[in-house]
Structure formats: structure tokens, C-alpha cells
Amino acid sequence: MSIKLTNESIEVTITPDRGADITRLVDRETGIQVFAESPTGLVTRSATSSGSSLVQWISGYPGGWQILVPNAGTEREWAGVTQGYHGEASLAKWDIRSFEPHRLEVETYLLTAPLYIARTVSINGQLLSVVDRITNQASQPTSFRLCQHPAFGDHFLDGSSYLEVAARRFLADGENPGSLVARDQTGTPEEVFKQGPHSTTISLPGPGSGESLSGAFTEFPPQRDGSTTTSVTFVSPNTGLSARLSWDIKIYPHAWFWIEANGTPTWPWFQRLYSVAVEPSNVLPGSGESQAGLERGGPGTTLEGGETLTSEVTLELKRVAGVGREQQPEGS
């Protein structure tokens, strides 16, 4: 079952039966679907789905935007239970609390951590807002990893697209960094990546380039004095669209950065997926200490008994001057 939120500017599709995923964000003027679409989303449950937690997660993974909690990344043992790959919430069935044309409220209870989550997805003009309220239902403190997992696809991005990012540091994965960086490589984004058309921008590889990447941005400055909000912006001149993802750096001090540009010849993608993702997170991906002394993994966020964490992440589409569908300057 899927639910659609629609206004004059955007259309959003959510699947409460699988993770409350946001599978589609469509700009109604151009018809462009912003999110990545994974070929594994077409897979129905089968005997293969009873394999590892990674196999279970990939089976039916549609692309789009997930919430990863109480775990993000490879499965781990925690408090006497195995928390699967990318956590339980992204596979859970969510119950609908309320539904209006511009707003959906859903909820779920987790088994592998004593957490209750209420999620509100709403739209206003070109702005998509996702608010998650995570409550520790135990009487003792509980820790969990938390990551928002939006991935952008080839209907929106191409070889002319770039990313505006103000993070002061990038850290590559310590085991499988991909083709664009070396293992455990670190530095400013400008030092690590090919620069985009402006300062604080980096170029993105296009579909079919065969490139890949796994790592994370960290050390984000706030957007202005007294604020705890930061953002990254995907800019696609050829489609005339940009997408700005904003979040609270006190809740999400890091952002995982991964790229799959039709590069993996084996399972699960077989060169069928183009996806670029920046994912606000409370932990760095992987485990152990990097050569630069940064801790990967770890417990994440700790809530006292009965305490609630409230997080809002927004995604705003805007018009940009380009060479494709949209020739007018932003705001015209």
C-alpha cells in the first residue's frame, strides 16, 4: 500500500507497509522524480529473503528515503539481540495515525530496541518536511544509531550536476571506499573531490560513469551564528532543479556520502543502479578508529528512560538557471 501527498508543486509517495519509506518526490511542473529508483524494489519476498539481514534489507529496497534506527550499517549485537543491517524501522510496518492531503502521521514500535517512533511527513509548496519523534520506552537509558537515508537518482542528476557542501572534512570508508577515493582518505571536500563550478561545490559523476564512493562528511558549520541547522544542495542545471537537504547538526553531526553510478558489476546492483546520497547521521559509517583519529560507529544517541528525541529534516526543491528545461533565473 502506498499513500500520496499532493499540492500544486510536488507529489510525495510513502509506503507505510515497508519502513514508511518516501519512495517518490516528483516536481509537478517538470514531472521529474528526484529520488533514486532501485531495481531491487521490484523484488517480491522469496526464500532468498530469509538470508542475511543485508539480503533481507536489499530485497524490496525501492530507493528513495528511509529512516535507519536503531542501527545504521552492518548488523551488530546490542543488549543481547542482533540489530540487522540498517536497522529495524526501515523494514517495519507502520500504522497510520492520521492522513490529510498534505500531511501523514504514522507510528511503529521496535523489537530490537525499546523505542516508539512517530513520523510526520508533510508538504508545503516545494518543501518536504520529515519529523521523527523517537521515545525510549524503557526505564533505563537506551542508545541507538540514527540515520536518514535519502538517495537521488538519474531522472534528476547527470554528469553536469554538482553538490554544494560546507563540511570541513570528508572521511572515506576504511574498507570499501569505492573508486573515487582511497581507503581511509580524509581532507576537505575541495581537497578530496573534483571541484564544481563554484567554491564549496564538488562535481558529481553521471549515470554510466562506473564510479562509486562510500564515506562521510563531518565537521559541519551552522548556516549562521546561533543556528544549529546545516544543509547540502544538489544542483542539476540540465533539469533546472536543485534540492536542498537541511538538518540539525546537534542531532546529526555527520552525513554519509555514497555514490553508485552503475559501477558494481555483481550483486546486488549488476550495474543497474544510479544513486547519489547524502545521509544525515549520528555516527560515522564503519567501526573502529580512523587513521585521523575519528571514531566510526559507536553507540550513537542515548536517551534516558521515557525521554523523546525530536528531529526534523527538510528537502526543498527550487528552480535554477540551466541549459535544459528551465532557462529562467530562480524566483522568476
Residue 4, beta-bridge partner list: 13
List of domains in the chain: 3-319 (2.70.98.10)
* C-alpha span between 122 and 116 (Å, rounded): 20
3-state DSSP assignment of residue 194:
coil
Q: What is the CA radius of gyration of the chain?
A: 19
Q: Please, which residues have CB within 8 angstroms of residue 293's CB and are 6 or more apart in sequence?
A: none
Judging by beta carbons within 10 Å of its beta carbon (0-12, 13-18, 19+), is residue 42 exposed, middle or buried? Answer: exposed
Q: Which of 190, 27, 31, 13 is nearest to 104 (CA)?
A: 13
Helices (H), 201-281: none
- Cα atoms found within 13 Å of the Cα of residue 163, Cβ hemisphere only: 23
Residue 213, beta-bridge partner list: 178, 259
The pLDDT value given to residue 330: 42
| Residue 129, phi then psi, degrees to nearest 5 | -115, 135
Give me the DSSP letters along 43-58. PPP-GGGGS-HHHHHH
Residue showing cell 522524480:
33
Tens-digit pLDDT string for the chain (332 aa)? 899 999 999 999 999 999 999 999 999 999 999 999 999 998 876 545 567 999 999 999 999 999 999 999 999 999 999 999 999 999 999 999 999 999 999 999 999 999 999 999 999 999 999 999 999 999 999 999 999 999 999 999 999 999 999 999 999 999 999 999 999 999 999 999 999 999 899 999 999 999 999 999 999 998 877 889 999 999 999 999 999 999 999 999 999 999 999 999 999 999 999 999 999 999 999 999 998 899 999 999 999 999 999 999 999 999 997 644 433 334 43
The pLDDT value given to residue 327: 39
* C-alpha span between 325 and 332 (Å, rounded): 14
Judging by beta carbons within 10 Å of its beta carbon (0-12, 13-18, 19+), is residue 38 exposed, middle or buried? Answer: buried
| DSSP secondary structure code for residue 266 in this structure | S
Cell of 260: 553508485
- Which long-range contacts link 128-132 to residues 24+ away (Cβ below 8 Å)? 128/10, 128/12, 128/22, 128/25, 128/314, 128/315, 128/316, 129/312, 129/313, 129/314, 130/22, 130/65, 130/67, 130/312, 130/313, 130/314, 130/315, 131/310, 131/311, 131/312, 132/67, 132/310, 132/311, 132/312
Q: Which of 69, 75, 79, 147 is nearest to 115 (CA)?
A: 69
* C-alpha span between 203 and 160 (Å, rounded): 7
* C-alpha span between 208 and 230 (Å, rounded): 31
- pTM (2 decimals)? 0.94
The pLDDT value given to residue 44: 77
Task: Let me know how many helices (H) and strands (E) the chain has, helices first.
Answer: 2, 26
